[in-house]
């Protein structure tokens, strides 16, 4: 995977159209399996079926528009820093239940602050710890939301 990707607006719109088209097709297939309920009610499949068909129509229109407009403006989707952030978010999603709020929050905050331009690690870590404790405290005490502590549970 290269870090620098050049995507034009036309390509981006095309990809969006394809994704929307796939969603539309998926919906149409999924609802065809829904049971028909014999009554006056038009049933659970009707509304999503109409939406699925319309989505397919709009996706095709979008693709057609993108093709005929041929907009070559560059769109940058991702760079190194954003890739690190996405990786961090994925790691957070996996580790949250185990590590708990305090650890994940301090790590996330520190890395994000440094990536966004905080002067030093020391300062970033300090601000992260203070912020995390304040947020934890406010939600725990005032709002009655116990944020999970994960492996820190036995310590507190």
Partner 1 sequence: MENLWIGFANVLQLKYILLIMAGVAGGISIGSLPGLTATMGVALLLPVTFGMEATSGFLILIGIYVGAVYGGSVAAILVRTPGTPAAAATVFDGNEFSKRGEGGRAIGISTTASAIGGTISCLMLMFVSPFLAKFALKFSSAEYFALAFFGLTIIASISAKSLVKGLAVGMVGLLISTIGLDPMTGYSRFTFGSYYLFDGFSLIPVMIGLFAMPQIYTSVLDGLDEFDIKQKVTRILPSKEDVIKMLPTAIRSGFLGTFIGSIPGAGADIAAFTAYNEAKRWSKHPEKFGTGIVEGVAAPEAANNGVTGGALIPLLTLGVPGDAVAAILLGALTLQGLQPGPILFRDHIDLVYTIFAGVLIANIFMFIMGILGIRMFTRIVSVPKYYLMPIIFILCIVGSYAINNSFFDVLVMLGFGIVGYLMQKVEMSGSPIVLAMILGPMAEENLRKALVMSEGSPSIFFTSPISLFFLIAAVGTIVWPIVKNIRNKSNGNSTTDSGRKSA
Three-state SS string across the chain, please?
Answer: CCCCCCEEHHHHHHHHHHHHHHHHHHHHHHHHCCCCCCCCCCCCCHHHHHHHHHHHHHHHHHHHHHHHHCCCCEECCCCHHHHHHHHHHHHHHHHHHHHHHHHHHHHHHHHHHHHHCCCCHHHHHHHHHHHHHHHHHHHHHHCCCCCCCHHHHHHC
| Touching partner 1, residues 75-104 (CB under 8 A) | 75-79, 81-82, 85-86, 89, 92-93, 96-97, 101
Which residues inside 50-69 make contact with partner 1, applying CB under 8 A?
Answer: 51-52, 54-55, 58-59, 61-62, 65
Point out which residues bind partner 1 (CB under 8 A). Answer: 9, 12-13, 15-16, 20, 23-24, 27, 30-31, 34-35, 37, 40-44, 46-48, 51-52, 54-55, 58-59, 61-62, 65, 75-79, 81-82, 85-86, 89, 92-93, 96-97, 101, 105, 108-109, 112-113, 115-118, 127-128, 131-132, 135, 139, 142-148
């Amino acid at each position: 995977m290269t870090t620098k990707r050049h995507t034009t607006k036309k390509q981006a719109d095309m990809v969006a159209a394809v994704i929307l088209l796939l969603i539309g097709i998926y919906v149409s297939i999924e609802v065809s399996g829904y049971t028909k309920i014999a009554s006056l009610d038009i049933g659970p499949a009707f509304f999503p079926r109409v939406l699925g068909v319309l989505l397919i129509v709009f996706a095709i229109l979008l693709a057609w528009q993108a093709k005929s407009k041929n907009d070559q403006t560059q769109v940058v989707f991702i760079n190194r820093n954003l890739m690190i952030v996405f990786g961090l978010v994925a790691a957070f999603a996996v580790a949250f239940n185990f590590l708990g709020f305090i650890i994940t929050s301090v790590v996330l905050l520190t890395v994000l602050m440094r990536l966004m331009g905080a002067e030093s690690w020391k300062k970033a870590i300090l601000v992260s710890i203070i912020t995390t404790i304040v947020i934890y405290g406010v939600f725990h005490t005032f709002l009655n939301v116990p944020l999970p502590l994960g492996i820190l549970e036995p310590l507190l």
